[in-house]
Amino acid sequence: MALNPDAPGKKLGPFTREYTWKDAVLYALGVGAGFSEPEYCYEKNLKVVPSFSIAAIFDLFFEVGRAANVNLAGVLHGEQALIFHAPVPTEGTLSTEGKITHYYDKGEGKGALVVAESETCDAVGQKLFTSTFTLFSRLDGGFGGEDAPGNRVVYPDREPDFAVRATPSEDQPLLYRLSGDLFQLHVDPEFARMAGFERPIMHGLCTHGYACRALIASLTPQAPERVRRFDCRFSSPLYPGVPVETRIWKTGAGKAVWETVNAETGEVVITNGIFEYGDPPQHGNRKKEESPGAAGPADGQAVAAAFKALGNAFIPAAAQREEAVFQFRISGDGGAWYCVVREGECMIRAGVHDAPSCTLEMADADFIAMISGTLPPVQAFSAGKLQISGDVMKALLIEKMFRI
């Protein structure tokens, strides 16, 4: 076999992935989350482990391997870099486009590197994250290409500021693979032996998820939406059931370097770790060419029309035993509006209510996108486009009582 020389530079995709909160929770369980981190495992106030982003676009990995014509018996995930432009929603539709950018030759018997980049947007065209990954193709070296440039992270000469230990289950790959990485190396003993391993090994991206959780717990507790950058290189295989330790050094405001080691032997499993964090932008970047139904500029009349549509979407039968007052504060020319639901009836008025059950704040364009059905309410909330104060449980009734 030989790498396909025509593949670099050609567009791959778009690849579309629809997912629900259950997929986000399944991934979190697959990378070791549990009762100690309900924000990842319980749909109430759910947040997404940022490393889920890679599991959610795993089709691209297979397409890169296919397009490059790599020998699958020798493929490992080499490096992974992520830049987050907005929090990953708890559910929705992702659209990803990518391309192979480089081949690097490590030499005969030393393998080759296949580098690919991609961008992923949500259903309304907002850019969520940029991914750059490297496939290490152990059996495809020696084709006469250039070697990869050096890229080494320098670690401080001191003890780490944090050291987070965890022990994956011996069955961890069986759970993690349900998030999309079905490569036989992690489940089939015969295939693993053919690839040179005693038995199936951990997914590098599973250990990657353990590291992501450790970094967030240490640097941005319970706030995965503050993660801005997450880079690393996978340096050694790990067998399921072996404990790991993620070591973290703070290097400046919102910056850290990290590595994950085999806690039994001290061997480095993941290296060249870079982690950056900070407050997320209020609104992510949108594609210049918006996808159909994307939120664009809005005015007061458009917002008023959206509230009229909300009233027409009321479901009296679903609200017979409900009572709530929803206060809306819409940016731009949208202004303040409130909605009173009582005994199967609905009243919507412009203005401010004296005693709202909860207050919902949104940008005018995002509000119109939500009412029109192109921006799911849960996705708006998880992406930071919808701010809720007061009785959050009352806010959850909106999807029940209105056909949005």
Tell whether 137 is covered by a domain: yes
SS3 call for 90 = coil
Q: Which two three-digit tokens encode residue 230? A: 């997450």
- Distance of alpha carbon 115 from alpha carbon 287, whole angstroms: 24
CATH number of the domain within which 325 lies = 3.30.1050.10
Tell whether 291 is covered by a domain: no
Same domain, 236 and 102: yes
- Distance of alpha carbon 247 from alpha carbon 162, whole angstroms: 6
Contact 140, 111 (CB under 8 A): yes
Say which residue, 242 or 370, is predicted with more confidence: 242
Q: What percent of the chain has pLDDT over 70?
A: 95
Contact 396, 388 (CB under 8 A): no
User: How high is the mean pLDDT of the chain?
Assistant: 89
SS3 call for 330 = strand
Same domain, 132 and 73: yes
Please write the tens of the pLDDT for every residue from 182-192.
Answer: 989 999 999 99
Question: CA angle at residue 209 from 207 to 213, to 5 degrees?
Answer: 120
Tell whether 223 is covered by a domain: yes
Say which residue, 240 or 61, is predicted with more confidence: 240
Tell whether 225 is covered by a domain: yes
Assess whether pLDDT exceeds 80 at residue 338: yes
Query: What pTM value is reported for the model?
Result: 0.71
Q: Domain range spanning residue 368?
A: 300-401
Q: Which residues of 220-253 are buried (b: 16+ CB within 10 A; e: fewer)?
A: beeebbbbbbbbbbbbebbbbebebbbbbbbbee
Confidence grade of residue 291 (pLDDT, cut at 50, 70, 90): very low
Say which residue, 282 or 319, is predicted with more confidence: 319
Same domain, 107 and 42: yes
Tell whether 3 is covered by a domain: no
Same domain, 136 and 202: yes
SS3 call for 8 = coil
Same domain, 260 and 306: no
Residue 399: what pLDDT? 83
Tell whether 62 is covered by a domain: yes
DSSP conformation class of 392: H
Contact 291, 124 (CB under 8 A): yes
Region 86-113: mean pLDDT is 91
Q: Which helix (H) or strand (E) holds 111?
A: strand 111-121
Contact 144, 105 (CB under 8 A): yes
Same domain, 255 and 394: no
Count of structural domains within the chain? 2
Same domain, 210 and 310: no
Helices (H) and strands (E) in the chain, counts: 12, 15
Domain closes at, from 221, 242, 277: 277
Confidence grade of residue 333 (pLDDT, cut at 50, 70, 90): confident
Same domain, 127 and 263: yes
Residue 151: what pLDDT? 76
Tell whether 288 is covered by a domain: no
Confidence grade of residue 150 (pLDDT, cut at 50, 70, 90): confident
Region 356-375: mean pLDDT is 88
- Distance of alpha carbon 36 from alpha carbon 292, whole angstroms: 40
Among 153, 137, 165, residue whose Cα is nearest residue 232:
153
- Distance of alpha carbon 185 from alpha carbon 180, whole angstroms: 14
Confidence grade of residue 290 (pLDDT, cut at 50, 70, 90): very low
